[in-house]
A and B are shown apart, each in its own frame.
Chain A
Amino acid sequence: MEPVRVIEGAVSVIDRHDVDTDQIIPKQFLKRVERTGFGEFLFHDWSKEPGWDLPSNPILAAGRNFGCGSSREHAPWALEDYGFRAIVAPSFADIFYSNCTKIGLLPVTLPEEDVRALMEAGHARIDLEEQEVSFAGRQVGFDIDPETARRLLEGLDHIGVTLQQLDEIDRYERQRERSGPVTTALA
């Protein structure tokens, strides 16, 4: 994962709430076995509506509960492949938020009125280390789990980090692991 520090640029807007991952990337595009190339299918159906305008910018601003529904990581893959580096919304669905942080697409939660103002500003600068979004001459702080922020800032490989705790996993399995069910023992 590439380190994430400062993301600055124009803001694209989806002014809708409860945008589900079926809209972000419809099911017919989940058949690919690769991780790349999903950007061209982003919002496949919505993008055919009259008046749809979603330029490829560094920042996407959206409504509440963004990314709800299916756990498909293809949704963050598609957003990232399309060009977005950060998504700013009043709230996110849990799995989507987590999926974004795993691939270095920065989810930023701001109060609804600030998201609205940012949409109108059209340009913003997000500083992860300072946990601050600047737009239209103002600075607004945002919260992020410190460990998640550290991994994004340093661009760490999540599995690599966990494998540093291998001794603890081994010890857990020796001392505390639940017995069964053993899937390989099913006839």
Chain B
Amino acid sequence: MAKSLFDKIWDAHEVAEGLLYVDLHLVHEVTSPQAFESLRLAGRPVRRTDRTLATADHNVPTDGSTRADQIRDQLSRVQVETLERNCQEFGVPLYSLGSARQGIVHVIGPELGVSQPGMTIVCGDSHTSTHGAFGALAFGIGTSEVEHVLATQTLQQRKPRSMRINYEGALGYGVSSKDLILGTIGRIGVAGGVGHVIEYAGPAIESLSMEGRMTVCNMTIEAGGRAGMVAPDETTFEWIEGREAAPDPLPTESWLALRSDDGAAFDTEVTLDASELSPQVTWGTTPGMVTDVTRSVPQPRDEGEERALAYMALRAGTPMAEIELDRVFIGSCTNSRIGDLREAAEIVRGRRVAASVDAMVVPGSQQVKQQAEAEGLDDVFRAAGFDWRSAGCSMCLGMNPDIAAPGERVASTSNRNFEGRQGRGARSHLVSPKMAAAAAIEGHFVDIREWEDSH
């Protein structure tokens, strides 16, 4: 029987009915302390430390601190120190603050080459879907499940339904993977993928870089999807080859065999035209409240949208390109990889951030930071007036000191524009790295396609 990529990975990992084996468990400081504590109380060890990897990312300051004891916020410090102590006690490999490999958990997995095709990958973080870009089944779990995986290396799971989103046509000039996924969420809705594992397919996906595919899979959860995935191909192999944890030689034949068979059945199939997408900007308080940069803030259709517009202090009919910004954040597990920073740097090279805008770049990992500095991108950003920071989740969720003030309007390359997400009362607009960079220069949104031509 023809099987999908998802079916094949599922079948290869089903220990018993409803019990799924986990190949890689990623751990961070926020969702793990209670899990380790419960293990300790029950006298249970971590079953497979060799399939577990931890880092500190959500809480860490991005000011260049290199040790947990330098964290000024006491609660954050305790949380990072607790992770360090737990990993040492239980034997879990950890890249904490000060490690050259520290970074956002969904950036360092692919970067080290531990995220590979055919794997099951979980983490106590909803954006674990990112790793599906490698043809893995990767999804977020809660702390009770973190404890369960630490203790048993398995997860109790009912098989989700499957969905394939087929993109016809190619992305237009200046339209990025971020616009593709924002546009998709705008069409299928923030609950459009609930209960489903989504495979993204079609020429627009195949032509994306690994970083672009990671951006798409990352935001699957914003459509409610359990996991997002892309079939492995040459682009995947090129990324993995030579990375530290990569097998040598790569088992490319067995990885290619993971691809969905012709005629594989999906519970839901959706077809979207990638060529009709424009650069996207969110206007509301869910990632599904999104429109083309060429359009205006829409008329609210229900109470929820009215509430969103009130929170965002926007009036229906205002052109998106006239929305003025206070801050720009380039970073997060969605868009903080070297390719994202290169794209943004090309926009700002030789230009100045608008006087009214406070702009920052937070590389996704220390390795990304180092690479960017080797290429001189830090100088490009600094010369333009951007603040160049150290790696972490930063203003994506503001658990560290990188927080927007009440009422401030932020153009952000992150994944959530929920009320208060980037700071209490802060107003977030999700965009691509290029769009964020150009918005920083102009002080308001611009259509990157015309802007690039005219500059």
A residues near B, CB below 8 A?
16-18, 20, 22-23, 26-28, 30-35, 45, 64-65, 68-74, 76, 91, 93-95, 98-99, 102-103, 145, 147, 158-159, 161-163, 165, 168-169, 172-173, 176-187
Contacts and interface: CB of A to CB of B under 8 A. Distances in A.
A165 B153 CA distance: 12
A181 B24 CA distance: 8
A94 B195 contact: yes
Interface in B117-168: 118-119, 124-126, 139-145, 147-148, 151-154, 156, 158, 160
B42 A159 contact: yes
A76 to B, nearest CB: 8
Given A74-B143, A95-B139, 7 more contacts: A26-B420, A68-B191, A71-B126, A102-B142, A147-B156, A159-B148, A185-B245
A32 B75 contact: yes
Contacts of A33: 33-34, 37, 78-79, 82
B244 A165 contact: no
A65 B34 contact: no
B156 A158 contact: yes
Nearest to A70: B126
A46 B148 CA distance: 33
B82 A95 contact: no
B299 to A, nearest CB: 18
Contact of B75 (A20, A31, A103): A31
A181 B416 contact: no
A94 B419 contact: no
Interface stretch (B108-116, B274-282, B437-445): B108-116
Q: 3 tightest A-B contacts by CB?
A: A102-B144, A99-B142, A73-B142
B154 A162 contact: yes
Contact of B31 (A73, A98, A103, A165): A73
A16 B51 CA distance: 41
Contact of B15 (A76, A165, A187): A165
Nearest to B243: A181
Interface string B14-50: 0110110101100000110110010000101000011
B194 A186 contact: no
Contacts of A165: 15-16, 19
Given A93-B194, A183-B93, A16 B147 contact: no
B19 A168 contact: yes
B142 A183 contact: no
B34 A34 contact: yes
Interface string B166-201: 000000000000000000000000110011000000
Given A181-B245, A185-B50, A22 B399 contact: no
Interface in B301-337: 303-304, 307
Interface in B73-91: 73, 75-76, 78-79, 82, 91
B59 interface: yes
A162 B194 contact: no
Given A27-B399, A178-B119, A147 B18 contact: yes
Given A95-B140, A184-B50, A168 B126 contact: no
A47 B21 CA distance: 41
8 contacts: A31-B30, A33-B34, A98-B145, A99-B143, A163-B152, A169-B153, A182-B50, A182-B245
A99 B144 contact: yes
Contact of A22 (B12, B153, B418): B418
B304 A73 contact: no
